[in-house]
């Protein structure tokens, strides 16, 4: 009998423990009792201009119950913001403003403390707590910025220079903004705190304005407008009637040589593909290479006028807007981004200035294509080469022969397509072939600026 009566009691006790254990395991693993503390996104050090609020964010996977931000100067503490939530929130954003009262005006260093508690039942229902601290450095001083010298004018499609001084203990970014969205980046010049940059006005943009912008880590901004004289220039519009000979010859050849997967397209579609899609890809490749601006400080930048092809006759000019027709109907359009020069077939082409070969390969409509970097974001480009005399990575000296002219890519006769680029923008090659322009726009500006800097 005893045995019979005891067995169920032992079993029941065992079952009760099992159930309690099961409930504990369940609770331990359930989100109600999760043990992950809230995440506080806060930099260890923040420079603050006291104007824009400090933005910070706290997140928690179960939800936040309480978040508080406190600012202290070592003596006094001021609560900047508190949030207590009846319904837990997974994310809390704070935009913290400096308190109007509470601290002395001359305090520059503070400590910001963020405390956050989540809605977990862990810790005897108290929840998980996080705390993060940040050192706040008050910086309300704008960067010092002044233009030391600049070229007098900029022509549509052309280039101008600027030399300026920019100084701040916490400088974050320095650039020249333009009315067309492009930013130009300066190179350190001559002495600490001085910079030089070239700026370019794209030939298809109607107006030009540029402003040097200096921003420190606290967000203080200084700006200096560049007062160039703006010189308009008209570029040519031309209409070209497409001939079957050209479509079935050159265009069909380019397709079969570098885009054979498009061979099934019709003859006009092939032309559209070459003139639009292929061109876009080729120009993107050029943009990528020519956008690089050296950051090593320079004290001099001197270029001789470019003269890439001896006795080269101009056969097409820079900036031409070309409209293509077939059977008197518009088919496609494009801009010509260089100067075409022709001499005898397979003439040697020279680089007139020292540099580094940064590109030497087949590039669609540009055919065999060489790009040389001359420093300060200035690049010269040579298209349609029949053969290369240099390779990528080579250093070239002024006067070196780098390739031979030809008709690779979208070229009908043997010629050189000569292009100049400044920080990725195609610019008028004529300026870079003009000794007077180089002197007035770059060399003299630099020499006068150095006199001022050295004073
Ligand atoms: Zn050309």
User: Mind listing the pLDDT tens digit for each residue in 270-309?
Assistant: 999 999 999 999 999 999 999 999 999 999 999 999 999 9
Whole-number Å distance, alpha carbon 430 to ligand 1 midpoint, is: 14
48-83 pLDDT, tens digit per residue, is 999 889 999 999 988 899 999 999 998 899 999 999
Whole-number Å distance, alpha carbon 209 to ligand 1 midpoint, is: 28
Closest CA to 415 of 349, 321, 326: 349
pLDDT grade, residue 27 (50/70/90)?
low
- Mean local confidence (pLDDT), 1-13: 70
Contact 208, 154 (CB under 8 A): yes
Residue with tokens 């100084």: 167
- Mean local confidence (pLDDT), 2-13: 71
Residue 407 CA to residue 387 CA, distance in Å, equals: 10
Give the pLDDT score at 4. 55
- Mean local confidence (pLDDT), 88-104: 89
Looking at the predicted structure, is the pLDDT value of residue 30 above 70? Answer: no
Q: What is the torsional sign of CA 262, 268, 272, 275?
A: positive
Whole-number Å distance, alpha carbon 60 to ligand 1 midpoint, is: 60
pLDDT grade, residue 439 (50/70/90)?
very high
Per-residue CA distances from 302 to 429, 435, 446 (Å):
16, 11, 9
- In sequence order, what are the beta bridge partners of 176? 184, 212
Whole-number Å distance, alpha carbon 420 to ligand 1 midpoint, is: 12
Give the pLDDT score at 335. 96
Average pLDDT value for the chain:
93
- Higher-pLDDT residue of 185 and 125 is 185
Beta-carbon neighbour count of residue 252 at 10 Å?
17
Whole-number Å distance, alpha carbon 222 to ligand 1 midpoint, is: 41
Q: Is 154 helix (H, G, I), strand (E, B) or coil?
A: strand
- Higher-pLDDT residue of 221 and 63 is 221
Q: Diameter of the chain by CA atoms?
A: 124
Whole-number Å distance, alpha carbon 336 to ligand 1 midpoint, is: 6
Whole-number Å distance, alpha carbon 334 to ligand 1 midpoint, is: 11
Whole-number Å distance, alpha carbon 147 to ligand 1 midpoint, is: 37
pTM, whole model, 2 decimals? 0.86
Give the pLDDT score at 3. 55
**Percentage above 90 pLDDT, the chain:** 82
Exposed e or buried b for every residue in 393-431, given b needs 16+ CB within 10 A? ebebeeebebbbbbbbbbbeebbbbbbbbbbbbbbbbbb
Residue with tokens 């405390």: 115
Contact 339, 315 (CB under 8 A): no
């Amino acid at each position: 009998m005893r045995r019979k009566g005891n067995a169920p009691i032992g079993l029941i006790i065992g079952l009760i423990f099992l159930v309690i254990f099961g409930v504990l395991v369940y609770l331990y693993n359930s989100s109600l009792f999760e043990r992950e503390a809230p995440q506080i996104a806060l930099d260890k050090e923040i420079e603050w201009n006291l104007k824009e609020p400090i933005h910070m964010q706290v997140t928690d996977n179960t939800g936040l119950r309480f978040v508080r931000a406190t600012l202290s100067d070592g003596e006094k503490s001021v609560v900047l913001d508190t949030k207590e939530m009846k319904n837990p929130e997974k994310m809390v954003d704070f935009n913290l403003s400096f308190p109007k009262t509470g601290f002395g005006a001359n305090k520059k260093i503070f400590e910001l403390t963020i405390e956050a508690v989540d809605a977990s039942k862990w810790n005897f229902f108290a929840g998980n707590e996080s705390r993060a601290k940040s050192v706040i450095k008050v910086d309300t001083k704008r960067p010092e910025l002044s233009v030391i010298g600049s070229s007098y004018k900029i022509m549509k499609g052309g280039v101008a220079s600027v030399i300026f001084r920019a100084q701040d203990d916490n400088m974050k970014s320095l650039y020249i903004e333009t009315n067309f969205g492009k930013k130009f980046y300066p190179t350190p010049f001559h002495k600490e705190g001085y910079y030089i940059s070239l700026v370019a006005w794209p030939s298809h943009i109607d107006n030009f304005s540029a402003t040097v912008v200096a921003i420190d880590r606290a967000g203080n901004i200084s700006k200096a407008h560049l007062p160039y004289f703006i010189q308009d220039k008209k570029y040519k519009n031309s209409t070209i009637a497409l001939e079957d000979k050209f479509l079935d010859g050159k265009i069909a050849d380019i397709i079969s040589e570098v885009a054979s997967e498009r061979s099934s397209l019709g003859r006009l579609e092939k032309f559209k593909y070459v003139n639009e899609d292929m061109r876009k890809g080729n120009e993107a490749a050029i943009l990528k290479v020519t956008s690089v601006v050296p950051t090593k400080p320079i004290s001099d930048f001197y270029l001789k006028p470019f003269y890439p092809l001896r006795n080269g006759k101009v056969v097409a000019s820079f900036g031409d807007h070309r409209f293509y027709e077939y059977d008197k109907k518009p088919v496609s359009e494009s801009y010509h981004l260089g100067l075409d020069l022709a001499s005898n077939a397979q003439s040697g082409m020279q680089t007139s200035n020292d540099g580094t070969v940064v590109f030497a390969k087949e590039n669609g409509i540009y055919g065999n294509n060489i790009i040389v970097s001359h420093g300060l974001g200035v690049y010269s480009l040579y298209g349609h080469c029949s053969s290369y005399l240099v390779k990528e990575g080579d250093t070239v000296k002024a006067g070196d022969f780098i390739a031979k002219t030809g008709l690779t890519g979208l070229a009908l006769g043997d010629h050189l397509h000569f292009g100049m680029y400044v920080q990725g923008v195609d610019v008028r090659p004529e300026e870079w072939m003009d000794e007077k322009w180089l002197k007035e726009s770059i060399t003299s500006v630099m020499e006068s600026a150095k006199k001022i800097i050295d004073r």
